[in-house]
Structures are given as structure tokens and as C-alpha cells.
Amino acid sequence: MLFNSLVFIGFITIVFLVYPRLHLRAQNIFLLIASYVFYGYWDWRFTFLLLTSTVVDFWVGRQLEVTERQRSRKFLLLISIAVNLGILGFFKYFNFFIESTSSLLTAIGLQANIPVLQIILPIGISFYTFKTLTYTIDIYRRQLTPTKDFISYALFTSFFPQILAGPIERAANLLPQIALPRQITRAHVLTGLNLIMLGFFKKVAIADTLAPIVAKVFLDPSAMTCGQLWSGVYAYTFQIYGDFSGYTDIARGLACVLGFKSMENFNAPYLSKSVTEFWRKWHISLSTWFLDYLYIPLGGNRLGKVRTYINLFITMLLCGLWHGAAWPFVIWGIIHGLYLIGHRIILKGKKAETSWPHTFSGWLICIVKIFITFHLVALAWVLFRSSTLDGALVYYMGLFSLQSLSGFSVPVLFAGILIITLDIAQTWIGNQTWIADMQKHAILRYTAAQFMLISVLAATIAHLETVTPFIYFQF
């Protein structure tokens, strides 16, 4: 079920009408049923995968609480990891590894007749798998006490605003909110509606408007001018940000209206002054997951420079593979790993400056850093969007040919200005929900709200016959 569909409007209307009128236990049961209806609307059969993961991890969590022998605790954790990653690996990576093995055998002159299965990737599986793993790993580390209420845990794993594309919420944050009574105040509603409107503006008015431009350019890059290819790079850079951060804003807004507080997932990433800072501000729930559950356990930066570089490389390689079972995603992850390693080498052990300077020359240097970081990230997005490595190579060759700079799209430039303006406003004011606070600069906030609302309505009418899925649903 898509947030930007008529079916969802009917679904969420029923939820908002029924939910506030129930007591806590009934609220949790109702939200659990609603979450499974929401997830199962796409294909009800995959709800059994979600339920399997939920049952296994709930049981493992309870057993870890009462088990003292370290060897037994490790075995229990291994059960959770094997079940969750086993399901994820089969549905997402089985054909990728089969096809890669077959290509390798063919390349060395061996006949390869390995069967490929027709496997449908369950929507949201990468997100809820990582979400459930944090629960058992944190209990194993004795950083979290397991819940004894299966309904609460099942709601944690399936909570409908977050299940399809995050944020990858931690049990330590969400479970206590599920267990305790929730009070929905006027501030909750205003903040939630602010986030929902902001999310739809990014998704419908910006991302969906840029989608046809991106599709046309990436369909056949060899037929495009250099100007059109650069237009496609910028278009996809702003499309994926508007699409994914828009989903997150809507998800956080819906949760807020229901009385839940979700973690922030984006914090003006395109204003980052380095790729290291970019990964602190882009897809925060995923980057912190890899930090806490992979990079630090590998040794982090505690075992010397070379080991730090290796850990960064492994972490980003797996981050790329998490995004998709295809070589362009793997190479994209490797490139970002090299970016991070290069930044550490440049710093030479110094701490990167994250605050803005107070001098004009300092501002100019920061703007140059932002410009360079933005283009490093944007150029890597070409791999992310290309279906094959050959297609990405053709794109890059045309991009730097400089044969003709004609064909640059003005709507792309306008969309970029809007996105960057929103990021600047968020950075300057200090939060995303600045429109909801009408006590200061009321005219400016009201004008911004009206502009977003009219833009969403106009874009919705323009795309009335097509509903564009969120990009991150495929991961």
C-alpha cells in the first residue's frame, strides 16, 4: 500500500477515526492488525515471512534473558541471525550469487548451467530484517531487556509507517512507546501534519516531477548530449533525496499523529562539507546501524590506520550490497568506502570541522567543500541508478565528453533550488517542523505552507493517472 495512493487515504482515515477511541491494549492490537493489513495489501503471503521473523526473535529474546552460559547465548543469537539473514539472503541475493558464479565459470572457460529461480523480493524485507536484528543483538549485549508482551513486539516489527522503508527504528526507542499510554496532543497533530505535508511536497511535487526526466536520460545515455546527461545526474540526485526523505517525513508524521516519536533519518545531507559528514546526515538510521553493528564490532578506528581503512571499506561494500543485489550497488558502496578512506587520509588524524565559521573566507571555503562533496555524491548516484555497469560506463563517458552542453533542464535547476532551500531552512531554524510553529515569522511560514500545499495538489492532478512508487521500496 503506497502512501500516495487513494487506498491509503481510506486506510489511514479508518485508523485515525478508530485508534484514538481505544484504550492502550486495544490500540496496540488495532495497530498490529492495521500494520499487517497495510503490509499484506501488496502480497498477503509475505506476511508469513514477517511473522516468522517476529516469532523467532521474540523467542530468542526471552531465552537470552534467562540464559547465562555465554556459549548458549551465542548459539541463540546465531539462530536469530541465521533465520533473519537466511530469509533475506534467499529472497534478495540468491539469484545474484548464482548469476555471478555462472558468469565467473563462463569467463574461465567452464560450462555453467546453474538454474535461476523466479523469486519475488518481499517489499521492505531489508528494513524490517535489520530492525529485528537490533532487538536480539542488543539483548545479547545486555543493553536491552526483552519484552514479555508478544503483541508489543509484533507491533514493533510491523509498525506500518516504518515497515516499508524505515526509519530502521531501535527497539530501545520504540518498544517503550508501545508499552506506555500515549497522549495525542495538539502539538503532536500539528507537528505530524507538518511532516506529512513536507514529505508529500518532496515526493509528489519534486521527486515525481523529476522522475520522467531521469527515466528518459538513463534509458539511453548514449543518445543524450553532455548537457542532458548532467541534467540527469542532478535530476536523480534531487529525485532520490526528495523521494526517500519524503517517505521518511510522511512516516514520521503519521507516527507523530498516532503519538509516537520516530528518529530523524535525514538532516540536510546535501549541505555536508565532506562525505563523512554526508553519511552522518543521509539515511541516519542505516548509517548508524552499520556503525553500531558492523564497523565498531570489526574494530572501528581502534586498531590502527590500515585496519580502520579496511573496516570502512568492508562496511561500505556491505552497505552497497544491502541496497541491491547487483554489481552497480556494490561498486557504489566501494566508491563511498574509498571516499571515506580518502577523507581520513586528508584529515591526517585531525577532527573535521562541522560548525560554520564566522569569517567571509571561512564561508567561501565551506561553500567550496559543499560543492565538491555534493558532486562526489551526485556522480556516484549514476551507478546507483544504472541497471548495469556497462550502462554506467556509457553514462560517465558521455558525461565528461563535453561535446555539447545543450539540453540542460530548467525544471531540474528549480527543483534543486527548492530542495537546497528546505535544507538551509532546516539548518538555520534547527528542525524540520518549523512551519508548524506559527508564533514567529507567521507570514513566511503561512506562505511556505500554502506554496507546498498548492504544489502538491497541482502535481497530484498532473500525475493523476500514474502513482509512482517510492524508490527505496525496491531495497
Query: Mind listing the pLDDT tens digit of every residue in the chain (475 residues)?
Result: 777 778 888 999 999 999 999 999 999 999 999 999 999 988 888 899 999 999 999 999 999 999 999 999 999 999 999 999 999 988 888 777 777 777 666 667 666 666 666 677 788 889 999 999 999 999 999 999 999 999 999 999 999 999 988 799 999 999 999 999 988 888 888 889 889 989 999 998 999 999 999 999 999 998 888 889 999 999 999 999 999 999 999 999 999 999 999 999 999 999 999 999 999 999 999 999 999 999 999 998 888 889 999 999 999 999 999 998 889 999 999 999 999 999 999 887 677 666 677 787 888 888 999 999 999 999 999 999 998 999 999 999 998 887 777 777 888 898 999 999 888 887 877 666 666 665 666 677 777 777 888 888 887 777 766 777 788 777 6
Residues sharing a CB contact under 8 Å with residue 318, sequence separation 6 or more, in sequence order: 290, 294, 333
Dist CA 438 CA 435 (whole Å): 7
CB-based contact 316:383 (threshold 8 Å)? no
CB atoms within 10 A of CB 160: 24
- Environment class of 62 (CB within 10 Å of its CB; exposed 0-12, middle 13-18, buried 19+): middle
What pTM, to 2 d.p., does this model score?
0.89
The domain spans of the chain are 6-182, 187-273+353-474
Each as own residue / partner, the long-range contacts of residues 351-357 (CB below 8 Å, 24 or more positions apart, any chain) are: 352/273, 352/274, 352/276, 352/277, 353/273, 354/273, 354/277
Count the helix, strand and coil residues of the chain and give each as a percent rounded to the nearest 5: 70, 0, 30
User: Is 414 strand, coil or helix?
Assistant: helix
Residues sharing a CB contact under 8 Å with residue 361, sequence separation 6 or more, in sequence order: none
C-alpha dihedral sign at 3, 9, 11, 15: positive
Residue 215 CA: distances (Å) to CA of 3, 109, 244, 392: 22, 37, 17, 14
Dist CA 67 CA 60 (whole Å): 10
Cell (9 digits) for 232: 540527469
CB atoms within 10 A of CB 72: 12
Catalogue the active-site residues. Answer: 323
Backbone angles phi, psi at 233, to 5 degrees: -60, -50
CB atoms within 10 A of CB 426: 18
CA angle 217, 222, 225 (to 5 degrees): 65
Residues sharing a CB contact under 8 Å with residue 101, sequence separation 6 or more, in sequence order: 112, 114
Q: Measuring CA to CA, which residue among 335, 306, 308, 305 is closest to residue 320?
A: 335
